[in-house]
Amino acid sequence: MRTYWVLVASILLIGCEQEGGSIPAFISQVESQSRKEIAQLTPEAVFSATTYQAQIERSPFVLPEVAVIANQPRAKQDCWQPGSRNKTGILETFSLDKLHLRGVMGNKNNISGLIQTPVGSVVKVQQGEYVGLNNGRVAEVTSKYILIKETLPDGLGCWLQRSVKLALK
């Protein structure tokens, strides 16, 4: 039985004969085929430090006068300005994207909207009331949406109005 296993092992080992090439020669052949040219980098610029003279030069923490003048808003004198008023409503403490219309109620002549705040409370609103952070005023309440006219600054001293709808989902 032992000779049988020796004979089987020797037959298997005959199949593991080397195929004629050496492994280091194969590796060097593959490396020579895969070599690519490396782009030359530009030489590093030489850094030269300058001394800061506080009496002559401007402060490095202040914009130059030209930049300060260019960044000043140009106020227009002939544009619309909203009237000043105090914010007293509960819904004026939340932005419009945080408010959700949850329903409407009333009859054909007098419709009120039910708006849910981010804290979960539901507040009744009617036409003419203020909503949102940007002096939004309820312009229209329908059975499907509430139309709000919002007042936004344009950054140049004037104000713009835009319409936003809170719709039922």
Q: Report pLDDT for 164.
A: 92
How, if at all, do strands 100-106 and 136-141 pair?
Answer: unpaired
Q: Report pLDDT for 77.
A: 63
DSSP 99-120: -EEEEEEE-SS-EEEEEE-TTS
pLDDT in tens, 86-105: 888 889 999 999 999 999 99
Q: How far apart are CA 122 and CA 144, in angstroms?
A: 17
Q: Report pLDDT for 53.
A: 84
Q: Report pLDDT for 75.
A: 57
Domain positions in the chain: 90-167
CATH code for 90-167?
Answer: 2.30.30.830
* pTM: predicted TM-score of the whole model, two decimal places: 0.54
